Amino acid sequence: GLAASASPLWQALHHVPAASGEQDMEYRRRLKKADVYEVEDVTDFHVLLTESGKEKARRLLWCLNALHGTVEFCPVLPPLTCVLLLYFDEDVAYLILHCLLKKAVQRERSHEPPLVPMKRKDFVRFVKIVTATIAQRLPRLYSHLRSLTIDLAAWVARGVQDGFARMLPFDFVLRIYGAFLFEGANVFYRYCVALLKLLEPSLLNCADHESAEDVLYNCGDDPAVTLSGLTKAAFRYKLRIDEPLHKHTAEFPTPYLMTTRMRQFHRPRLRHESRILQPQHWEAIWGWVPETDRMLVPTLEYSSDTHGMSITAMVQRLSPFLRSPMLLVISTRDHGILGFFSPFAFRYDAKAAAHDAPLDVSFVYQLQPQEQAYWWTGANQLFMSVTHKHIIIGGNDIAIYIDEDLRKGQSKQCASFGSAKLVADEMGDFLISLIEVWILQTE
């Protein structure tokens, strides 16, 4: 039935090979350790689930991300996942969420009105539309809140990003989510305006900023806000977004949207621990890796402090993985982190291998002092050169150069990747502290 129609990826993740008790414990420990975030970090609804339920939620979120790489920003997914797992089996919850995201992606690609904002800029546009509607429908309240210096757009953003999961009682959220699964973010739009309509008398009585914020952020405690009353008010408003979000501007209407880090769902499953990459680094890298490779498992196949400080030692270690995607990670003495993603591993015949490889998925990157990736531009044919004396990545000029002893390197502005230099040094020089090479492969 439902499990049979689920994706092969979900089935592979769901059906863990039989193992002894000790091996199973080790598998679960690694699975949990591999998270870029804990469920506890992204939703308070984690308290509704057992440890087994939390593992299911992590698995579902990872799988949905791997299959829907175009979904850049969708913070309602973690709490919605927890709620669905309360009432449905894991395979049913997966299919509900998969169909929701698939429909949202189809709408965006066909330039229809959105089902759910899936990019940060689209979410900003959505918040601006809701805030403008409040100003139009509730002008007296809007003017009063502005006079109290209330950042109304920030309140709207906090509410609609997860369907008021942090503002309203659980039974309210259940009703909102039920409607959301059928109509999408238009439901959040209506409930947001309706909530302010019910809160209007209390807010108009507020004489200062603090008291107004207390009413807004504890809106579930206001006696005027009842479940039936809020629902009736919400659906009394015939509010919907009738055009694609990209037709609206995306300037930030509130500092909240500029300073708040938007959590992503990108996370690999790791067999080994990196001495360079922290969880937030994996989150950034896995967002850059092509969608088709996110279901693969990164394995640490070479570390310069363990396997030898030479290009020869590195290439020898990587020889069994000539056609596997590779992630190079370099830590510098100045605490910088930079690297390279390639559809194939370092090899002496790299120039020949590049002729039939999908180079457009490759990128160079830096993680410290800032996170930035630069993809292959095709501006020239200088992709990678590997000899006993050096490794060169990119040309005109070189994106990353590594000497034969893996001790010194250089990075310049590079046409091959359209990249700036990847280190802070004015001349682009750096001393290497540690090199790791990760190979992406099936389990």
pLDDT score of 39 more than 80: no
Q: What is the 3-state secondary structure (H, E, C) of the chain?
A: CHHHHCCHHHHHHHCCCCCCHHHHHHHHHHHHHCCCCCHHHHCHHHHHCCHHHHHHHHHHHHHHHHHCCCCCCCCCHHHHHHHHHHHCCHHHHHHHHHHHHHHHHHHHHCCCCCCCCCCHHHHHHHHHHHHHHHHHHCHHHHHHHHHCCCCHHHHHHHHHCCCCCCCCCHHHHHHHHHHHHHHCCHHHHHHHHHHHHHHHHHHHCCCCHHHHHHHHHCHHHCCCCCHHHHHHHHHHCCCCCCCCHHHCCCCCCCHHHHHCCCCCCCCCCCCCCCCCCCHHHHHHHHHHCCHHHCCCEEEEEEEHHHHCCCHHHHHHHHHHHCCCCEEEEEEECCCCEEEEEECCCCCCCHHHHHHHCCHHHCEEEEEECCCEEEECCCCCCCCEEECCCEEEECCCCCCEEEECCCCEEECCCECCCCECCCCCCCCCEEEEEEEEEEEEECC
Could you tell me the pTM of the whole model? 0.58
Which tokens go with 391? 């490794």
pLDDT at 19: 43
104/127 Cα distance (integer angstroms)? 18
Task: Please give the pLDDT value at position 247.
Answer: 64
Mean pLDDT in residue range 101-120: 85
pLDDT value at 251 more than 90: no
> How would you classify the pairing of strands 384-386 and 408-410?
unpaired
In this predicted structure, the answer to whether residue 140 has a pLDDT above a threshold of 80 is yes
Mean pLDDT of the chain: 86
pLDDT top residue among 257 and 319: 319
Unique residue bearing structure tokens 């370099």: 330
pLDDT of residue 413: 95
365: left (phi over 0), alpha (psi -120 to 50) or beta: beta
* C-alpha closest to that of 270 among 68, 52, 441, 15: 441
Task: Inform me whether the pLDDT recorded for 372 exceeds 80.
Answer: yes
**Closest C-alpha among 48, 229, 73 to residue 160:** 73
**pLDDT of the residue at 134:** 95
Selected residue with higher pLDDT from 329 and 368: 329
The domain defined by 1-265 carries CATH number 1.10.472.80: yes
Confidence tier at 66 by pLDDT (50, 70, 90): confident
What is the pLDDT at residue 256?
62
Q: Measured between alpha carbons, how far is residue 317 from residues 301, 332, 362 in Å? A: 7, 22, 21
In the block, residue with structure tokens 């992204």: 42
Q: Provide the pLDDT for residue 95.
A: 95
Peptide bond into 369 cis (omega under 30): yes
- State pLDDT tens for residues 357-370: 999 999 999 998 88
Of 71-80, 197-206, 304-313, give the lowest mean pLDDT range: 71-80
Domain ranges of the chain: 1-265, 279-441
pLDDT score at 264? 53
Which of 92-106, 162-176, 267-281, 393-407 is predicted with the least confidence, judged by mean pLDDT? 267-281
- Predicted local confidence at residue 73, as pLDDT: 81
What is the length of the chain? Answer: 443
Phi, psi torsion values for 322, nearest 5 degrees: -60, -30
Note the pLDDT tens digit of each residue in 178-233: 999 999 999 999 999 999 999 999 999 999 999 999 999 999 999 999 999 999 99
pLDDT confidence bin for 2, thresholds 50/70/90: very low
Separation CA 293–CA 82 (nearest Å): 27
